[in-house]
Structure 1
């Protein structure tokens, strides 16, 4: 087993290389704003992963949970070779948009990435310091899955992406007094993590006070305690929590009020795509 500094050095080097290629790829995109946005987002995330790995690694001398784990050097070499070829083709202007998507899918579902995720999971098991790294990397994986799922021609890569080990599971809370609505919202969000429900604001507040939820999706009008009172009380305990809230309402004026206050909100009825998009943005820490 390589020493921890050596291991983290190898991981961060690959993250740095991936970031550079994604930045170059974003510059090469032609007339596809969604693909350009994906590549820029992935590049920023790779850079963040590199900083987090090196930053938290300074506080840990060893990783007991990784004693029996070795990086597959052949997988590392194959991925480096692939990166080298892809970068040369991007520099030469020889990659189409479809080629760029293929590059993302191949890289993110590669043997190297599987090895990388195993190491991240081991680091997380060994030290809580690596939990933020694992959470960010899991969302990185999900953003690629969402994109590939939206492009029928590249759906063939989804199975490979979904077979990669999960390194973190977010907890989400759905708040609605209508059980049927809560069930539908839960079904839409089940790919994003473990979804719990609450029948009103008071029940939701109890849950929020006893555990962390990465996203809270709530109806506005409910008995016992409505959504605004839930948010007000939750913010008293947890300043800044509004960034994790998403409200449903049938009142268009209220929608504008929410948005003026920096609170995410959707008009009823919202589509599954709208709901998934807003929750994905919350989980990805986008504003």
Structure 2
């Protein structure tokens, strides 16, 4: 085995890890694979002589590639909002490609949505430090900042990712439990549980963009809302619980890209209002965050 072949073998041993790093930074499996391939080309040209921690060094190489890609994406004004893939939106039994769905679930769709709202440098610093425990001394040259400035980047990103709840801890935990149960019942089409979680006079309001012309923008009553929720079970399968405007709600995010948001009002352990938001302007202004830890 020559030097090139040996290097390729060593790189392949770390490919899954590098792919995971790139996916969290870019939110796209195709882009992540492109980033890992670009990193390999850089490594192949530069070699690894003198590198003691190969995994750590490769992580920084991939991070540099991802930062460049994120900056290009922002310069081009690429829109992070997503359309529902045909297989997910039109066929109740449809699913995302399995490999991407597994990755999105393992990372957390809500986290991917919130990461899309960070600046490129914030996202890279947060992912490297908070998700992969890379020291700030190694993050600094990647983002072109000092270690202190890199720490501030990650801290600012962490605050945006976590958000601020508008209810106390007890109510927050209770409401998260209700939303978790609602999303699980929606995914499974469990009508009885859905009715139990909804207030008898619950109101579901939706942006016109969120539903087809044949569907009313307002629906009232637990049974009617529960039955409709079963119809949209395919959306629930690409949903995740998030902090929406300071309270637990749901993001629908095929491939980890934001499609719509369910802002929920919960009173005495039951959902009294569901606001389905799909208008891009409203989504862009809506504070979103996730649970960490």
TM-score (norm 2): 0.27
More helix per residue: 1
Which structure exhibits the higher relative contact order, with contacts defined as CA atoms closer than 8 Å and separated by 6 or more residues?
2
TM-score (norm 1): 0.28
